[in-house]
Amino acid sequence: MVAQLKAGRQGLLALMLISLVDAFYIPGWSIRSYKEAEHVPLLVNKVYSDNTELQYAYYDLPFVCPPTGQFAAAGGMLSGKHIPLNLGEVLRGDRIQASDIELAMAKDKPCTLLCTRNLSSADLKRARQLVRDDYVVEWIVDNLPGATNFISSDKSQKYYAAGFKLGYSEPSPRGRLQQYIYNHHTIVIRHRRATGGAGERGEHIVVGFEVYPSSVAPDAARQPDGCPADLNALGDGFPLHKYANVSEQLPSSARHNLVEMIEFEGTLQIPYTYAVYFREDNNIEWARRWDLYFVNQDEGVGIHWLAIINSVIICAMLTGMVFIIFAKTIYSDIKTYNDAMNESGKLRTKAKSYSGTSTPRDKLGLLGPSTEADVNDFGDSDVVDEGLEDASGWKRLHGDVFRTPKFGFLLAPLVGSGTQFLFMAVGLVSLSALGLLNPTFRGGFISVGIGLFIFAGLFAGYFSSRVFRSFDGKDFRKNAMVTALLFPGLCFGLVFVLNLFVWAQASSTAIPFGTLLAIVFLWLCIQVPLVYTGAYYGFEKARAWEHPIKVTAIPRQVPAQLWYMKPLQSVLLAGLIPFAVVFIELTFVFQSVWQDKTAFYYTFGFTAVVFALLIVTVAEVTVVTIYVHLCTENYNWWWRSFFIGGGSALWVFAYSMWYFTFKLHITGIVSSMLFIMYSFMACCVYGLLTGTVGFLTAYAFVRRIYSAIKID
């Protein structure tokens, strides 16, 4: 019975996960098998480059073979029509369509003419530009990206790099780069017999997809059907240039110079051909077929472990400092003060000496009538000051430490947004570490992240309203609206403006207008009500966070601070420690996202560990820094704790700019804008997340230490 219930839960979970995807299965949960000679769809997606952030749909390129729909009835595929995509795929620039390349399971096709394209001068110029920028093509078979095959440096094993290049560039004899197009593709499908009943029926599964592009020269010998006569004699490649005829009477050197200078204003015909070979490979298990895409990244595992050790050492040192603060300094101070309070009655005597009709405001240089509340508040402050003459300075702030901060109506929504991003980040890292979110789930990381962010609106409203209430806020509805609209609205506006520039480039990186409307619907019609619901519960139903000490009417003067205790300096110094924790892991993330797009980032287990250490480090750094601020009698800790927690975001952004300047080779104004603005938004999200962790930790720390001292 228990086994049946367990199997039922697993099946329900599988159905829930599969329902999230429109076009593809979740690898590990579903296997697609093919009968012999059954059509295997080959999908084309987009072209992308490490040198630019602009992607383009493959069939939007003017120099490739467009779909004709000849396989419309084969395998239920609508050739040439867009495949249904999930939200994450659309946002990452995917534009997947079915191609006219014919793949029949286990049936080789030595060579087939796909089409012949007539290219104008503008089309040639476009092709040369993309080849010059090292654009890579993404084809897909059975959810496997077409791979370029490589051999490791020690020649012990092979590995894959996703995609293959459009063409290549070579210098001409005069030193100028000349671009060549790949117009023949050799496709190798590796397969093996399926297991279970499908295998008994003779069905096969795909375990590898390799593409070997070639450039066949215009003057290469061809068969009547247009295919190269000999694939081992392809000539010098197909140049993306069309030149005027030069008189054969001229010397060869003069002819060459004219060819380099004069281009013909006409059309150029490019024949595209392909060959298909199926190879049975029983050495690759279906569940391990993605491993070859990760082999070349295994060398970085040792560096990941160094990053973990580095982070653990930093976190352990901070933990020791926090332990000393709590166990030695604070505990000792509180015990000494409370013992003194119990043994002497001078505090009450001091308080009674100020009772009367007026408050000695002249000591503070203030004028005006006094009230009874002023008398009591001022008396309490002097009582503690008298009793704490020999104690550390943090206890002198009992009447000011919980004073409502300036612009608290903005701090509360920022904390709410930070908890929203924290929940989203924890969910994404956890699901990725468990293997549910991986490169095989195309667009899954973004889709699930958006879903988690919208659902986390409940937490955003709850924490925002509770912080808002602790600031003596009254209208939680207005606070909820600010929480739901402020930061998401700023991000949406920035993305919309960037999208206008990308639209002008006709890039698939641009978010379609319909997708923008869907995002607005999810934001305003789902997320905003969830934020309001959480805010209502946090403000009306949940118990308020009580402060252990009342605030005095007259704020005390903050003494002059040392240079490293000033706002900017303290934020930068404190933020450097969490940045040191994530720095090594950050280099891998940057390399995968910005520098080597053909590689997949997959070490989410290391990421989860570093993320947990980051949260602990941010919390401990904030506690130590705020304690030092309180000891210097600076009670302005509310905003300071938020900025100290998020201070490492400044270092991450600075590192992003350094990486952009010295590591990347991004060209073009639009691509540079995309990198800078997306890096800025990512650092803002990171800063909100870590700032919220710092604020909530500091809030709990301050409430805890001030609830331990006795104030009569």
* pLDDT for position 372: 37
Higher pLDDT among residues 349 and 71, named by residue: 71
- pLDDT at 322 (0 to 100): 80
Q: Inter-axis angle of helices 604-631 and 638-645, to 10 degrees?
A: 150
Is it the case that residue 92 has pLDDT exceeding 70? yes
When comparing pLDDT for 696 and 68, which is higher?
696
At 5-21, the pLDDT tens digits run: 343 344 333 333 333 33
Pairing of strands 268-280, 184-193: parallel
How many Å apart are CA 190 and CA 204, to the nearest integer? Answer: 10
Q: To the nearest whole percent, how much of the chain has pLDDT over 90?
A: 53
Question: Which runs of E-coded beta strand occur in 369-466?
Answer: none
- 326: confidence class by pLDDT, cuts 50, 70, 90: confident
Identify the pLDDT of residue 299: 60
Beta bridge partners of 177: 171
Distance separating alpha carbons of residues 66 and 70, to the nearest angstrom: 12
Q: Where are the domains of the chain?
A: 33-73+80-243+263-293, 309-331+393-402+566-711, 406-546
Is pLDDT of 293 > 70?
yes
Contact between 304 and 591 under an 8 Å Cβ cutoff? The reply is no
Tokens of 196: 């279970």
Tokens representing 454 are 């919208």
CA nearest 660: which of 646, 674, 681?
674
Q: Which residues of 94-124 are buried (b: 16+ CB within 10 A; e: fewer)?
A: bbbbbbbbbbbbbeeeebbebeebebeeebb
Identify any residues that bridge with 280 across adjacent strands, giving them in sequence order: 191
| Residue 546 confidence (pLDDT) | 83
Measuring CA to CA, which residue among 634, 620, 628 is closest to residue 700? Answer: 620
Confidence of residue 648 (pLDDT cuts 50, 70, 90): very high
- With 60 as the cut, is the pLDDT of residue 158 above it? yes
Q: Which of 40-54, 381-395, 694-708 has the lowest mean pLDDT?
A: 381-395
Alpha-carbon distance values, 268 to 121, 135, 220, 493, 640 (Å): 8, 21, 16, 44, 65
Predicted pLDDT at 350: 42
Mean pLDDT of the chain: 82
pLDDT (tens digit, 9 = 90+) per residue, 251-283? 545 444 444 444 545 678 999 999 999 999 999
| pLDDT for res 36 | 94
Tokens at 448, concatenated: 């699930």
- Residue 121 phi/psi, 5-degree rounding, is -60, -40
Range name among 56-65, 66-75, 112-121, 597-606 with the lowest pLDDT average: 66-75
Q: Strand order of the sheet with strand 184-193?
A: 109-119, 268-280, 184-193, 204-214, 147-151, 158-162
Task: Indicate the SS3 state at residue 82.
Answer: strand
In whole angstroms, give the CA distance from residue 284 to residue 488. 45
Secondary structure class of 260 (helix, strand, coil): helix
Q: Are 274 and 296 in contact (CB under 8 A)?
A: no
User: Residue 541 has what pLDDT?
Assistant: 87
Q: Output the pLDDT for position 397.
A: 80
Looking at the predicted structure, is the pLDDT value of residue 85 above 80?
A: yes
Of residues 74 and 29, more confidence is placed in 29
pLDDT band (50, 70, 90) for residue 339: low
pLDDT value of residue 367: 32
In Å, what is the CA distance from 196 to each residue of 33, 205, 285, 529? 11, 12, 14, 49
For residue 701, give the nearest of 392, 330, 384, 338 by alpha carbon.
330
pTM comes to: 0.84
What's the pLDDT at 252? 47
Count of CB atoms situated within 10 Å of the CB of 639 = 18
pLDDT band at 687 (very low <50, low <70, confident <90, very high): very high
Quick: pLDDT tens for 194-241. Answer: 998 898 899 999 999 999 999 999 988 888 888 998 888 888 899 987
Q: What is the DSSP string of 548-583?
A: SSPPPSSPPPPPPPPGGGSHHHHHHHHHHHHHHHHH
Percentage of the chain modeled with pLDDT above 70:
79
Which range is least confidently modeled, 137-151, 301-315, 342-356, 549-563? Answer: 342-356
- Given pLDDT bands bounded at 50, 70 and 90, which one contains residue 515? very high
> Is the pLDDT assigned to residue 461 strictly greater than 90?
yes
User: What pLDDT is attached to residue 527?
Assistant: 96
DSSP string covering 341-361: HHH--HHHHHHHTT-SSS--G
What letter would DSSP give residue 263?
Answer: B
**DSSP codes, 190-240:** EEEEPSHHHHHTT-EEEEEEEEEEE---TTS-B-TTS-BS-TT--TT-EES
DSSP state of 526: I
Where does residue 407 rank: exposed (0-12), middle (13-18), buried (19+ CB within 10 A)?
exposed
Please give the pLDDT value at position 711.
59
In this predicted model, which residue has the larger pLDDT, 314 or 644? 644
Which DSSP symbol is given to 325?
I
Instruction: Give the list of residues 6+ apart from residue 656 with CB closer than 8 angstroms, or none.
Output: 590, 679, 683
pLDDT at 75: 40
Confidence band (pLDDT; 50, 70, 90) for 173?
Answer: low
| Residue showing tokens 């904390």 | 415
Tokens of 119: 């290219």
CA-closest candidate to residue 459, choices 433, 424, 505, 435: 424
Tokens 């600031």 label which residue? 471
Can you tell me the mean pLDDT for 136-156? 87
Nearest to 53 by CA among 95, 93, 96: 93
Supply the DSSP string of 15-66, one letter for each residue: HHHHTT-SSS--TTT----B-TT-B--EEEEEEE-TT-S--EEGGGSTTSPP
Per-residue confidence (pLDDT) for residue 235, from 0 to 100:
83
**Rounded to whole angstroms, how far apart are CA atoms 30 and 286?**
11
